[in-house]
Amino acid sequence: MGYQRQEPVIPPQRDLDGRETLVSEHEYKEKTCQSAALFNVVNSIIGSGIIGLPYSMKQAGFPLGILLLFWVSYVTDFSLVLLIKGGALSGTDTYQSLVNKTFGFPGYLLLSVLQFLYPFIVDPENVFIGRHFIIGLSTVTFTLPLSLYRNIAKLGKVSLISTGLTTLILGIVMARAISLGPHIPKTEDAWVFAKPNAIQAVGVMSFAFICHHNSFLVYSSLEEPTVAKWSRLIHMSIVISVFICIFFATCGYLTFTGFTQGDLFENYCRNDDLVTFGRFCYGVTVILTYPMECFVTREVIANVFFGGNLSSVFHIVVTVMVITVATLVSLLIDCLGIVLELNGVLCATPLIFIIPSACYLKLSEEPRTHSDKIMSCVMLPIGAVVMVFGFVMAITNPQDCTHGQEMFYCFPDNFSLTNTSESHVQQTTQLSTLNISIFQ
């Protein structure tokens, strides 16, 4: 008897409503367990964007900022589930195909632009010495190989490592809130309930929480995906994420109050070895998070220009091009605050608030009094307001940036009075007793 090749056993798959369907070997993709998918969602939320959350507290006012952070997390939870429900109603399995079926080619084109632009947020690897060399080396050594994966399910373990490192960074920020915070004077408006820049703060928070652009990728990687299973996954992911985000935003802001920068690590002094280690950990989390964003950009290019399929050669070429452009952006831009605001209000806000709501309202046949429709009717205009007014405020009222320079409180005994307000001089006098051992 001759050798007979044993065909791979391909289990029946389920569509968005949970019905079993048969797929070919070519169509079958490796699936991931729910825990791995959970870490992919959490990693997408708390990856690079978390670093700007203390800055959003400064923008909104600390009490209002905390309330807004809970609200944005709830809206994120709701819209992520709404997005998959929209896919079930339309029989589509990607964000682009959902919008294309709902609003035609103009909607498809607009979404493609938003999804393409979002991942090009500056890659904020905040390393002061050899910044350009380190970003280039880490991109070639780690980011590019991870981004070359074809299946997002393979990133589950990577996301687990990234989430663990983010938790470690949170511990460092909490430790410095205790040891460093009491030595830095609080600004006069530190505890104001609300500030005029609250809309810009919503943009920063939206940027931190958005993972809608890769939601269908994660959903399709689940074993036997259903809307109910996706809902449970999202609820757990948001609870974990908001817990980490609230603590990070609170500890970061309480340490520096009105001096808080768009990139929190800009606030710490260079001779703080513990924070330097935190910067290294954050750089690693960015490296481990960006491949998920690259998946989305590559999918957009594949859908728009290649009919949804990329050959092995074009897969590599497109990935290299995306990574190269993103790296160049990260090398040219070092002021994170304005980038977070603009990317949040122009890209994240429509992807979270506007598009999922608009698609569901057009597709759903539920009565107008249905809770999902009522919430969608609320989210859509709020998203439009945040997008328009947030953009105008970010342009007309840009925030200051230190561009990597040391903050004044890092030199309490040698602080220059040049171009310094009287209040800062008084604060510097108070810092003259700062124990330098804090930074060692």
CA 65, CA 59: separation in Å to the nearest integer?
8
Q: Do 202 and 72 touch, CB atoms closer than 8 A?
A: yes
Q: Helix (H, G, I), strand (E, B), or coil: what is residue 291?
A: helix
Closest by alpha carbon to 434, among 276, 263, 271, 251?
271
Residue 193: band (very low, low, confident or very high) from pLDDT cuts 50, 70, 90: very high
Q: Helix (H, G, I), strand (E, B), or coil: what is residue 21?
A: strand
Residue 32: band (very low, low, confident or very high) from pLDDT cuts 50, 70, 90: low
CA 100, CA 77: separation in Å to the nearest integer?
23
Rg of the Cα atoms in the chain: 23
Backbone angles phi and psi of 32, in degrees to 5: -125, 155
Q: Helix (H, G, I), strand (E, B), or coil: what is residue 32?
A: strand
Average pLDDT (402-409) is 70
Least confident of 20-34, 140-154, 302-316: 20-34
Residue 256 CB: number of other CB atoms within 10 A? 27
Assign residue 104 a region: left if phi > 0, alpha if psi is -120 to 50, beta otherwise?
A: left
Instruction: Give the list of residues 6+ apart from residue 409 with CB closer than 8 angstroms, or none.
Output: 183, 184, 259, 269, 427, 428, 431, 434
Q: Which residue has the tokens 């944005």?
A: 72
Residue 398: band (very low, low, confident or very high) from pLDDT cuts 50, 70, 90: low
Q: Do 215 and 95 touch, CB atoms closer than 8 A?
A: yes
Least confident of 74-83, 122-131, 257-266, 358-367: 122-131
Residue 262: band (very low, low, confident or very high) from pLDDT cuts 50, 70, 90: confident
Q: Decide which of 231 and 328 is more confident.
A: 231
Each residue's pLDDT tens digit, 211-251? 887 888 888 888 888 889 999 999 999 999 999 999 999 99
- Name all domains of the chain by residue range, CATH numbers in brackets: 28-406 (1.20.1740.10)
Closest by alpha carbon to 390, among 335, 334, 352, 348?
348
> What's the burial of 178, exposed, middle or buried (CB within 10 Å: 0-12/13-18/19+)?
exposed
CA 288, CA 25: separation in Å to the nearest integer?
30
Closest by alpha carbon to 72, among 198, 162, 192, 164?
198
Least confident of 166-175, 335-344, 351-360, 380-389: 335-344
CA 38, CA 104: separation in Å to the nearest integer?
32
pLDDT for the residue 315: 77
With a cut of 60, say whether residue 7 has pLDDT above it: no
CA 137, CA 284: separation in Å to the nearest integer?
12
Query: What does 155-173 look like in DSSP terms, one character per residue?
Result: GHHHHHHHHHHHHHHHHHH
Q: Helix (H, G, I), strand (E, B), or coil: what is residue 144?
A: helix
Least confident of 35-44, 70-79, 83-92, 198-207: 35-44
pLDDT for the residue 174: 93
CA 403, CA 397: separation in Å to the nearest integer?
18
Q: Decide which of 286 and 165 is more confident.
A: 165
> What's the burial of 401, exposed, middle or buried (CB within 10 Å: 0-12/13-18/19+)?
middle
Q: Decide which of 10 and 114 is more confident.
A: 114
Average pLDDT (6-30) is 44
Residue 73 CB: number of other CB atoms within 10 A? 21
